[in-house]
Amino acid sequence: MDRPITASPVLGGTPPGKPRPLHSGFVRATHWINALAILIMVTSGWRIYDASPLFEAVFFPKGITLGGWLGGALQWHFAGMWLLVGNGLAYVAHGFASGHFRRDFLPLRPREILHDMIAALKFRLPHVAGRYNAVQRLLYVGVLGLGVLVVLSGLAIWKPVQLQLLTAVFGGYEGGRLVHFAAMAGIVGFVVVHLALVALVPKTLPTMIIGRELHLGRAREVKP
């Protein structure tokens, strides 16, 4: 159980006396901007959905939507998209260029994922600071893919004439609407699991805000 699942060199080259934050400032900033952008896009998107629901059984109560009416929700959605896409592109470019994705999101091995998933369900998955377990890696790569999908399907239904080749990839305008909805549902599903995991291991929250674990009363940097 104590065996490290991956030998992540995430904190490898840290010069002595200068501990590296568990999450770089860039990752922390883009993470929280993304959380805000997702909140805006999902809640305004729900209001837009309500103007013409895809499924009879699915309707979002006004109290959890953003924008007040269809026109207001559309304004939020098409403002939020710039934040989501601008921040997302910066995050992805940084993730590839800095080696963060390769270092921290890979490898994705089915055996490890299965092992960690079983351990997690038994509440026996240790959280090693500075290293993502295989379930986390799968979730993060998965939500990245969903993020790409939600943006592309959104563009496809926003510009079904100018970007008609993209729209055709999703099976046309109506197909694009379904994919856009499904990608939203996947992201919301991720957020639910994500928040549950954070609630289970609350010490991860300060690491995502200030870059290190919080030790009240003691100013001590965390060593891996």
Partner 1 sequence: MRTLFSGPRPSLRDHKPNVQLAERRLFLRGGLSIGALSLLSGCDLTDNEQVDSVLTAISRLNDRAQAALFSRTTLAPTYTAADITPNFPFNAYYAESKLRPVDGEHWKLELAGRIADKKPWTLADLRTLPQESQITRHICVEGWSAIGQWSGVPFRTFLERIGADTKAAYIGFTCADDYRTSIDMATALHPQTIIALDYAGAPLPDRYGYPIKLRIPTKLGFKNPKQILAMTVTNDYPGGYWEDQGYNWFSGS
For residue 56, the partner it binds in partner 1, ligand HEM, none, with Cβ less than 5 to 8 A by kind, is partner 1
For residue 34, the partner it binds in ligand HEM, partner 1, none, with Cβ less than 5 to 8 A by kind, is ligand HEM
Q: Which tokens go with 141?
A: 């790569």
For residue 35, the partner it binds in ligand HEM, partner 1, none, with Cβ less than 5 to 8 A by kind, is ligand HEM
| Shortest Å distance, C-beta 221 to ligand HEM | 16
Cβ-contact 60, 51 below 8 angstroms: no
* Contact between 96 and partner 1 per CB under 8 A: no
Nearer to partner 1, 77 or 212 (CB): 77
d(CA 91, CA 87): 6
Angle, alpha carbons 122-23-84 (nearest 5°):
95
Task: Single out the residue of 40, 66, 104, 179 in contact with ligand HEM (rule: CB under 6 A).
Answer: 104
Count of H-run helices and E-run strands, the chain: 8, 0
Nearer to partner 1, 1 or 161 (CB): 161
d(CA 136, CA 117): 9
Chain positions 28 to 67 lying near partner 1, rule: CB under 8 A, are 39, 43, 48-53, 56-59, 61-67
Q: Give the DSSP per-residue string, 29-46.
A: HHHHHHHHHHHHHHHHHH
Task: Single out the residue of 40, 44, 207, 212 in contact with ligand HEM (rule: CB under 6 A).
Answer: 207
Nearer to partner 1, 57 or 219 (CB): 57
Angle, alpha carbons 150-152-158 (nearest 5°):
95
Angle, alpha carbons 115-119-125 (nearest 5°):
115
* Contact between 208 and ligand HEM per CB under 6 A: yes
Nearer to partner 1, 66 or 139 (CB): 66
